[in-house]
Amino acid sequence: MNVIDKVIKKIEKEKLVENNDRIVLGCSGGPDSIFLLEVFLKIRKKYNLTLALAHINHLYRGEFALRDETHVRKIGKKYNIPVFVRKKSMENLAKDKKITLEEAGREIRYSFFDEVLEKIDGNKVALAHNLDDQVETFLFRMMRGTSLEGLEGIANIRGKFIRPINEVYKKDVLNYLDTNNISYMLDHTNFENEYTRNSIRLDLIPFIEKRYNPKFKEKIFNLMEEIKEVNNFIEIDYDEYIDGNKLNGKIVLSENPYVQKKIINKFLNLNNIQASRRKIENIFELLTTSGSKKIKLDKDYTLLKEYDRIIIVKNKTQEKEIETITLKIPGEIIFGNYIISANLIGNKDQLDKNSFITTLKREDELLIRSRKVGDRIKLKGLDYPKKVKDIMINSKIPKFERENIPIILHNNEIVWIVGIKKSEKYISEDGKGTVVLNVRRKEC
């Protein structure tokens, strides 16, 4: 069985490709991406595939970058496959965002893949990572620090991304292309060891193979497979611990340390954050500290601890301010992530368990805003108005959420801390008030 047939067998066994898929192939013009294209050309008719090539010119290698782009365009024309090209400088992006060239390149690639997927109404992106890439990733992550999940290597399939050739050695890719006289381009920067991954490929692995074990890459791959088997053996119901961007710290801490780390790793992955040992340790540190606390996870996300929960929020969301809005009865407005309506009671269909039947009247004007320092509300059974801040603390509302909860006022008096407490003054005792307030979340 030749190497192409081996990949096709893997595609069939793991159902990486299905009938009528519309697939974007990342194509640099190098040997791996050309080999990947050869695989898809073999199965295009069988699966009735729609293919598109996505090529990125990083404006980094001058005439060589233009040469690669031209080569990919010729291939697309030869096989009647549309080619999409993005020209964007890694160096400029890295400088602007203060990140490494490797991180900048990754950001450019993945945003471009999404763009091309949308243009062709695609459903998958095929990437040309090979088995040598797997070993390099294993060593890179191990040296940088990661979890056992991180040492599984590059997954065959993750969401919309598929990697059909990630169990094929580079030497087998080159041998197939050379034997069949299939042209490809070589990127000379892959032979410069100033980058960590290149140094692993050019210096570390050859040294170990020569000095200690010529089958080093094979041994590493076998270890990765065993790690994957162990991780799959330990079944965890993650829904018990994770709710979107929230992690239930109290339940997590009841587990043993290994399971705790698996849950935290999954929590990061579900929120599209690349896990690392440092990030996992940061979350574990938050779980074991008392009180409220926040730490910056990276340039995009912050971790917040409120009571027994860990919450991941985008940094930019913390800077967002919600304006004050006026609502005249009857009417409806949008406030942040809430839709607030004030209607005259016409029938029981307008009511649900969250409705607030009030003593308000037609033409009354309401003010909706975030809480302010010193806000108080008169509650039933109390002789004095209670601080809104104390109510939110007692209700265990996370600090970062408190500013987003609507406060509804009439004549400068608080009518309702939405979803939390109602003012005694505006509660219709007999349930026959003329105005009902309803609040629902916007659909995201």
- Check residue 150 and give its pLDDT: 73
**Three-class SS of 288-318:** CCCCCEEEECCCCEEEEEECCEEEEEEHHHH
pLDDT band at 213 (very low <50, low <70, confident <90, very high): very high
Quickly state the pLDDT bin for 374 (edges 50, 70, 90): confident
Whether the predicted pLDDT of 14 surpasses 50: yes
Contact 366, 324 (CB under 8 A): no
% the chain with pLDDT above 70: 93
The answer, yes or no, to whether residue 20 has pLDDT greater than 90, is yes
Distance CA 227, CA 347 (A): 61
Asked if residue 302 lies in contact with residue 313, where contact means CB atoms within 8 angstroms, the answer is yes
Cβ(408)–Cβ(368) under 8 Å? Answer: yes
Q: What CA–CA distance (Å, rounded) separates 239 from 364?
A: 45
* Residues 246-289: tens digit of each pLDDT: 888 788 888 888 888 888 888 887 887 777 777 888 787 777 77
Return all residues near 53 (Cβ < 8 A) that are at least 6 apart: 24, 25, 27, 37, 72, 75, 76, 81, 82, 83, 84
Q: Which of 154-163, 230-239, 387-396 has the lowest mean pLDDT?
A: 230-239
Ordered domains of the chain (ranges, CATH) = 3-215 (3.40.50.620), 238-317 (1.20.59.20), 325-441 (no CATH)
Q: Tell whether the torsion through CA atoms of 238, 243, 245 and 247 is positive or negative.
A: negative
3-state percent breakdown (helix, strand, coil) of the chain, nearest 5: 45, 20, 35
- Would the pLDDT of 400 be above 50? yes
114: how many CB neighbours lie within 10 A of its CB?
14
Q: Is 271 exposed, middle or buried (0-12, 13-18, 19+ CB in 10 A)?
A: middle
Q: How does DSSP classify residue 440?
A: E
387: helix, strand or coil: strand
- Residue 32 token pair: 């791996």
Confidence check: pLDDT of 161 > 60? yes
CA-based nearest residue to 356, from 425, 442, 405:
425
* Helix, coil or strand: residue 44: helix
pLDDT-derived band at 7 (thresholds 50, 70, 90) equals very high
**pLDDT tens, position by position, 286-334:** 777 776 777 777 777 887 777 778 888 877 544 445 578 999 998 999 8
* pLDDT confidence of residue 231: 76
Task: Give the span between the Cα atoms of 95 and 97, in whole angstroms.
Answer: 6
Which strand (E) or helix (H) includes residue 165? none
Between the CA atoms of 350, 351, 355 and 356, what dihedral angle is there, to the nearest 10 degrees?
80
Tokens describing residue 121: 């109404």
| pLDDT above 70: residue 195 | no
Q: Does 190 score more than 70 pLDDT?
A: no
In this prediction, residues 118-126 reach a mean pLDDT of 92
pLDDT tens digits, 29-73 = 999 999 999 999 999 999 999 999 999 887 766 678 788 889 999
> In the structure encoding, which two tokens stand for residue 21, read together?
């898929």
Question: Is there a contact between 286 and 293 (Cβ–Cβ < 8 Å)?
Answer: yes
Alpha helices in 48-79 (DSSP H): 63-78
What is the value of pTM for the model shown? 0.60
What is the distance between the alpha carbons of residues 263 and 242, in angstroms, rounded to a whole number? 8
Q: Which residue has the higher pLDDT, 170 or 105?
A: 170
Contact 231, 149 (CB under 8 A): yes
Q: What is the mean pLDDT of the chain?
A: 84
Q: pLDDT tier at 16 (50, 70, 90 boundaries)?
A: very high
pLDDT at 425 over 70: yes
Q: What is the pLDDT of residue 194?
A: 55
